[in-house]
Each structure stands twice: as C-alpha cells, then as structure tokens.
C-alpha cells in the first residue's frame, strides 16, 4: 500500500509539469477548480450553476470544507487553477487550507469565488477582508429593502436588485433584463480601494439589520453603499468574486420568476442564471483577459529599432494586444489605448489607432528635450486586465554637424562681410590707380 | 539770437567744406571708404535691433568686419597724410602694404567666426 501511494506520488510529480494545469498565457485549456461546500446538498441545490461550469470545460472537484485531506498545493505546485468557496458557515477548513493559504492562492494569480449567506463565519469574513471587502459586523444582519424586494417574499429580505455595473467585459454584451434575486448579508467596499468594484449594488432604500428584531439604533450600512456582489481584480490580474448570498447561485432562484415591488413588470425567469454565468466567465478569464506583445518602435522609413533617438526625429510606434476569447487569442479592438513618451511626466500622449487585427500603432515627433525616455502603455479599462508595459530609450541632442548650415536670419551679416571684402578690394584698386 | 546762430552754423559749415576741399584726393578716397564701412555697420545694428540677436556670432562677425576695416583705413590715412610729422619717414607704399595684410588677416578671422 505504501509502495503504491509512493509510486503514484512519484508519477504525478513527473506528470504534473507536463499537464500544465495553470492558466499559463500560452495554453489555457481545461482547468481544474476546487469547490468547497459546507453541506453536500449544495451540490444538488446549485446543480445548474455547476453544470454550466462543467459544460464550459471546467474540471470541478467537490470537497467538504472540513475534509482533512484538503490541499491546494503539493510539492510546491498548485493543484487547482480556481477555487469556489460555497461554505459560509465553516469556522475552520480541513487539511492544509486556511485564510493565508487562500490569500497565497490568489497572490499566485489564480481566481476565487467566495460566497457568504445569511450567516458568515469569521473565517469567510477574514478571507473577504484580505480581498478588500468588509462584511457587516453584525452576524445576524441581512439586507432588508422595503421598496425593492421581490413580491413573492414576506419579510422583505429577498431583494430584487437591478443596479448592475455597466461593463460589457464583466457582465457580457447581452443586457440582463430581469432583476437579480438576492438574500443574504451586506458588505461594503473602501472607496479609496481602486481594485474592488461593486457589480450588484443595493438600491438607495436598502439597509442591513436583523430582520427578526426591532431596530434600536440606525443601521450602519445603508443605501447604495451596500454592495451585494463585488469583484476584485488584483494587481497580478487574479480575479475574485465575493457575493453576500449563496442562494443567488441556487437552482431555486435561477428558476423562479421575479416581480419587483412597485413595478408592473413580471419576469418569468430571474436574471440570476445569466448574471452568475456571465460573472463566472469573467472571473475565470474567459472574457476581458488581455495579452500584449512587446512594444515596437523605429524611425519612419526604417525597420530596425535604433539604440538612441535624436530630438525632432519622426518615429513610429506599435504594440500588439490580443484578447482571450475562451478558446483562442483574438485581436483586441478598442479605441482608447494610449501611449506616453515619458520622462518624469509624459511629453507626448497619443491615442493608438488600430487596424482591427490586434496591432495598435501611431507616429509622432520626438520632443525637443533630451534625456532618457520611456514608451509607456498603461491600460486599465474596467473589467479588463491591466496592461503596464514600458520600454526605455535615450534621446540625444543634435550633433554639431546636424544643425542647419546657413541660418536664414543671419543672411544680412553674411552679406555685410562679403560686401566689406568686395569694398576693400575695389578701394585698394581705386587708391592705387587714381590720378 | 536764433538768426545769428543759424548764420554761424552756415558759416561753420562753409568753412569746413572749403577746408576739406583742399585735402588731397587719396585721403578723400580713404574717407569715403571709412564712411561706407561704418554705414554698413549701422545697417547691421539696426537689423539686429529689429529681429533680435539670434546668431550673435554672425552679428559680431559682420559688425567687426566693417568696424575693423574702418579702423585699418583710418590708420592708413594717418600714416599716409603728408601733414603728419610723426610718420614723415614712413614710405606710403609700406603703409599700404600693412593695410592690405591686416585686412587679409581680418577677413580670415571674420569668415571663421561667421559660422
């Protein structure tokens, strides 16, 4: 038995590098996702969500959150490329998992879907705090909205939310018509944190309080400051979705119709399935993931990259940007990519024009300043990976023989000198031969 | 008073004119040359006042060529003037040869400095 497990371990050690599971830029294919559940029934009560993931090629590995054999890494290699934590009430993970190992998992560039529900344990709150999301401190509080609830609900905790972020990258091109049903806890985001984003916000009439007890003091979290579902895109482009409601992903809410209180529109199907599917596409990099080739620059008329430019040179600049479509690298089309010619501050800032095949190019004149410049492309569009490229290039002044030979303003002086010489010549003749 | 001063000015001018007509022709030629080169220098200064002193070396070179050749012509006039007791023994050919040589050096310098 020991021999068998050891040999299996040895074989997997050799095979692991070959099977290249992680989302490497060159071959992002079938990916393994670990799904942590705190109740086995979640597998069936959220089966539609999991089956949409499976149909897109994900390899889901269901485990209970307190399974003692849980491990994200083995021998320094990560076993999974994505993690879904649907375990809102777990106090401690089993195996080698804890909030630090999950933070390291995200730090390595891998993606995470985390969901709390009507109760959120301190462990889940801690992981969310690492990602910049603050759940309501009151552990019995839920989001209550007396004007934006679903009419099928009794105590106004089933919110029908339609305040979605406007981003085609995160939520897809098709507009989500029906409101999204939500029942769970509120969280807020630090407004100075520019990595987190509210995807589904509560309406201005929402607040976070315990629904079964009377309010003794005004609630802390109110209105649109409450975020129902947030995303975070880390600086290494790992994506995290944090939801305050596990029921949002459940089959029951996927299938249920929705009518918002006070609105005459009745929808046969809530927007939950479309919302969850599109969000999962974004978080697992099937949309909005950009890759840039190297920056190419050269003088107009040449093809090689020079080692140094001279002031007032004409140069051409181009960069290739591709977008991952889920199956292949497609050319990225946008009209807001900019390049800076930067030395302490941008001397030239130009918007790149695209040929729709992924190449972005522009041309400009080197400014009349010499020094060491950088070509910088800093692209941070909402929902897309941040591109931060730079290439250094020095710029020299004119050589002494590159100035214009004759200065037009000085023509009178040239004329005066030659006139004097001619005058001297004529004078000496006249002086010598006069009578 | 005004009438007498204008009459004095006219008398002064007339006496200067008659005195000047008595000078030898070669000195008059030198005087004409000096006036011509100073005039050229003044034109250049006026031009610089208009457009600014951008190629300052060219401006200096142009003005120096005019003023330098004027100075050398004045030296020639002093040395050649028969009424000058100091240069009584100096042959006028020698003075003219000096003038030519110095002018050549001057023009070499200004062409170099013209830029």
Mutate which: A404, A418, A427, vs B, most B CBs within 10 A: A427
Residue A21 pLDDT greater than 80, yes or no:
no
Q: Is residue B15 part of a domain?
A: no
A364 alpha-carbon distance from chain centroid: 30
Q: Is A290 helix (H, G, I), strand (E, B) or coil?
A: strand
Q: What is the mean pLDDT of residues A410-426?
A: 92
pLDDT at residue B18, as a whole number? 87
pLDDT at residue A318, as a whole number? 93
Phi, psi of A259 (to 5 degrees): -135, 125
Q: How confident is the model at residue A3 (pLDDT cuts 50, 70, 90)?
A: low
pLDDT at residue A27, as a whole number? 46
Nearest CA in chain B to A403: B115
Question: Considering Cα of A48, then A53, then A56, then A60, what sign does the dihedral take?
Answer: negative
Is the CB of B58 less than 8 angstroms away from the CB of A413?
A: yes
Is the CB of B55 less than 8 angstroms away from the CB of A407?
A: yes
Q: How confident is the model at residue B54 (pLDDT cuts 50, 70, 90)?
A: confident
Q: Is residue B18 part of a domain?
A: no
Average pLDDT of chain A is 87
The residue ranking higher by pLDDT, A348 or A6, is A348
Q: How confident is the model at residue A9 (pLDDT cuts 50, 70, 90)?
A: low
How many CA atoms lie within 13 Å of A153's alpha carbon, on the beta-carbon side? 23
The residue ranking higher by pLDDT, B59 or A31, is B59
How far does B22 lie from chain A, in Å, by closest CA? 16
Mutate which: A422, A431, A432, A433, vs B, most B CBs within 10 A: A431
Q: Is residue B30 part of a domain?
A: yes
How many CA atoms lie within 13 Å of A379's alpha carbon, on the beta-carbon side? 26
pLDDT at residue A212, as a whole number? 86
Burial code of B6-21, b = ≥16 C-beta within 10 A, e = fewer? eeeeeeeeeeeeeeee
Q: Which pLDDT tens digit goes with each residue over A339-379?
A: 999 999 999 999 999 988 889 999 999 999 999 999 999 99
Nearest CA in chain B to A416: B62
Is the CB of B107 less than 8 angstroms away from the CB of A419?
A: no
Q: Is A409 on the interface with B (CB under 8 A)?
A: yes
Is the CB of A430 less than 8 angstroms away from the CB of B29?
A: yes
Residue A271 pLDDT greater than 80, yes or no:
yes
pLDDT at residue A384, as a whole number? 92
User: What are the chain B neighbours of A414 within 8 Å (beta carbons)?
Assistant: 58, 62, 114
CB under 8 A, 24+ apart: contacts of A302-308: A307/A394, A308/A393, A308/A394, A308/A395, A308/A396
Is the CB of B114 less than 8 angstroms away from the CB of A414?
A: yes
Determine contact, residues A187/A135, Cβ cutoff 8 Å: yes
Is the CB of A424 less than 8 angstroms away from the CB of B54?
A: no
Mutate which: A403, A406, A412, vs B, most B CBs within 10 A: A412
Q: Is residue B6 part of a domain?
A: no
What's the rounded Cα separation, in Å, for the pair B73 and A373? 57
pLDDT at residue A19, as a whole number? 39
pLDDT at residue A18, as a whole number? 41
Phi-psi region of A95 (alpha: psi -120 to 50; beta: other; left: phi over 0): left
How far does B94 lie from chain A, in Å, by closest CA? 13
Residue B64 pLDDT greater than 90, yes or no:
yes
Q: What is the mean pLDDT of residues A166-186?
A: 90
> Which of A26-40, A76-90, A316-330 shows the lowest mean pLDDT across its residues?
A26-40
What's the rounded Cα separation, in Å, for the pair A424 and A2? 113
Q: What domains can be seen in chain A, in order of their start residue?
A: 32-284 (3.40.50), 294-396 (2.60.40.1930)
Q: Is residue B48 part of a domain?
A: yes
Domain that holds residue B32: 26-111
User: What are the chain B neighbours of A427 within 8 Å (beta carbons)?
Assistant: 29-30, 33, 73
> Which of A10-24, A32-46, A218-232, A307-321 shows the lowest mean pLDDT across its residues?
A10-24
Phi-psi region of A337 (alpha: psi -120 to 50; beta: other; left: phi over 0): beta
Phi, psi of A369 (to 5 degrees): -130, 135
Residue A1 pLDDT greater than 70, yes or no:
no
Q: Is A424 helix (H, G, I), strand (E, B) or coil?
A: helix
Q: What is the mean pLDDT of residues A8-31?
A: 50
Q: Which pLDDT tens digit goes with each residue over A210-231?
A: 888 888 888 888 888 899 999 9
Tokens of B108: 């070499």
Q: What is the mean pLDDT of residues A264-275?
A: 89
Q: Is A407 on the interface with B (CB under 8 A)?
A: yes
Residue A386 pLDDT greater than 70, yes or no:
yes
Q: How confident is the model at residue A2 (pLDDT cuts 50, 70, 90)?
A: low
Is the CB of A413 less than 8 angstroms away from the CB of B25?
A: no
Q: Is A427 on the interface with B (CB under 8 A)?
A: yes
Q: Is residue B98 part of a domain?
A: yes
Q: Is residue B4 part of a domain?
A: no
Decide if the complex's ipTM is over 0.95: no
Give the number of domains in chain B. Answer: 1
Nearest CA in chain A to B62: A413
pTM above 0.95, yes or no: no
pLDDT at residue A20, as a whole number? 36
pLDDT at residue A7, as a whole number? 59
Q: Is A307 on the interface with B (CB under 8 A)?
A: no
Q: Is A23 helix (H, G, I), strand (E, B) or coil?
A: coil
Q: Is A11 on the interface with B (CB under 8 A)?
A: no
Determine contact, residues A197/A382, Cβ cutoff 8 Å: yes
Among residues of chain A, what percentage have pLDDT more than 70? 93
Residue A434: which of B29, B61, B115 has the nearest Cβ? B29
Is the CB of B59 less than 8 angstroms away from the CB of A413?
A: yes
Q: Is residue B36 part of a domain?
A: yes
The residue ranking higher by pLDDT, A317 or A96, is A317
pLDDT at residue A277, as a whole number? 93
Q: How confident is the model at residue A261 (pLDDT cuts 50, 70, 90)?
A: confident
Q: What is the mean pLDDT of residues A376-400?
A: 92
Q: How confident is the model at residue B2 (pLDDT cuts 50, 70, 90)?
A: low
pLDDT at residue A233, as a whole number? 93
pLDDT at residue A264, as a whole number? 84
Tokens of B86: 């100091």
Q: Which pLDDT tens digit goes with each residue over A39-95?
A: 889 999 999 999 999 998 899 999 998 888 888 888 888 888 899 999 998 888 888
Could you tell me whether strands A353-354 and A266-267 are parallel, antiparallel, or unpaired per DSSP bridges? Answer: unpaired
Residue A10 pLDDT greater than 50, yes or no:
yes
Residue A431: which of B29, B41, B62 has the nearest Cβ? B29
């Amino acid at each position: 038995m020991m021999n068998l497990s050891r040999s299996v371990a040895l074989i997997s050690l050799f095979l692991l590098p070959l099977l290249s599971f992680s989302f490497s830029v060159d071959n992002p294919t079938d990916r393994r996702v670990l799904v942590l559940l705190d109740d086995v029934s979640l597998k069936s009560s959220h089966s539609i969500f999991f089956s949409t993931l499976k149909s897109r090629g994900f390899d889901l590995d269901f485990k209970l959150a307190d399974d003692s054999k849980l491990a994200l890494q083995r021998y320094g290699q990560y076993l999974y490329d994505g993690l879904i934590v649907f375990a809102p009430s777990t106090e401690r993970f089993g195996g080698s998992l804890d909030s630090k190992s999950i933070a390291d998992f995200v730090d390595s560039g891998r993606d995470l879907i985390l969901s709390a529900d009507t109760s959120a344990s301190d462990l889940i709150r801690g992981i969310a705090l690492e990602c910049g999301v603050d759940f309501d401190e009151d552990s019995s509080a839920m989001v209550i909205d007396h004007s934006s609830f679903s009419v099928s609900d009794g105590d106004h905790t089933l919110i029908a939310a339609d305040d979605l972020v406007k981003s085609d990258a995160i939520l897809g091109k098709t507009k989500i018509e029906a409101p999204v049903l939500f029942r769970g806890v509120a969280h807020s985001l630090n407004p100075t944190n520019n990595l987190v984003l509210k995807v589904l916000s509560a309406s201005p009439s929402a607040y976070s309080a315990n629904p079964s007890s009377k309010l003794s003091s005004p609630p802390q979290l109110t209105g649109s400051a409450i975020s129902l579902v947030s995303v975070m895109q880390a600086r290494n482009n790992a994506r995290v979705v944090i939801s305050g409601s596990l029921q949002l992903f459940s089959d029951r809410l996927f299938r249920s119709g929705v009518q918002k209180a006070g609105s005459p529109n009745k929808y046969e199907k809530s927007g939950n399935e479309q919302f969850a599917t599109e969000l999962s596409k974004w978080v697992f990099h099937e949309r909005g993931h950009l890759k840039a080739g190297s920056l190419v620059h050269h003088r107009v008329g040449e093809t090689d990259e020079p080692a140094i430019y001279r002031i007032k040179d004409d140069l051409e600049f181009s960069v290739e940007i591709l977008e991952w479509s889920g199956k292949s690298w497609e050319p990225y089309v946008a009209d807001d990519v900019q390049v800076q010619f930067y030395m302490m501050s941008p001397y030239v800032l130009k918007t790149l024009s695209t040929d729709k095949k992924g190449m972005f190019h522009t041309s400009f004149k080197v400014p009349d300043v010499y020094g060491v410049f950088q070509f910088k492309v800093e692209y941070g569009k909402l929902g897309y990976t941040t591109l931060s490229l730079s290439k250094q290039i020095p710029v020299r002044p004119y050589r002494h023989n590159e100035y214009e030979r004759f200065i037009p303003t000085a023509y009178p002086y040239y004329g005066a000198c030659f006139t004097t010489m001619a005058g001297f010549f004529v004078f000496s003749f006249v002086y010598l031969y006069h009578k | 008073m005004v009438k007498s001063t204008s009459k004095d000015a006219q008398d002064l001018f007339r006496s200067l004119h008659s005195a000047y007509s008595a000078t030898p022709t070669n000195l008059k030629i030198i005087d004409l040359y000096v006036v011509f080169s100073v005039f050229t220098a003044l034109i250049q200064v006026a031009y610089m006042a208009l457009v600014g002193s951008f190629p300052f070396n060219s401006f200096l070179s142009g003005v120096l060529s005019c003023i330098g050749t004027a100075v050398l012509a004045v030296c020639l006039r002093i040395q050649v003037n028969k009424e000058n007791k100091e240069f009584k023994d100096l042959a006028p050919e020698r003075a003219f040869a000096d003038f030519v040589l110095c002018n050549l050096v001057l023009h070499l310098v200004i062409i170099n400095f013209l830029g």
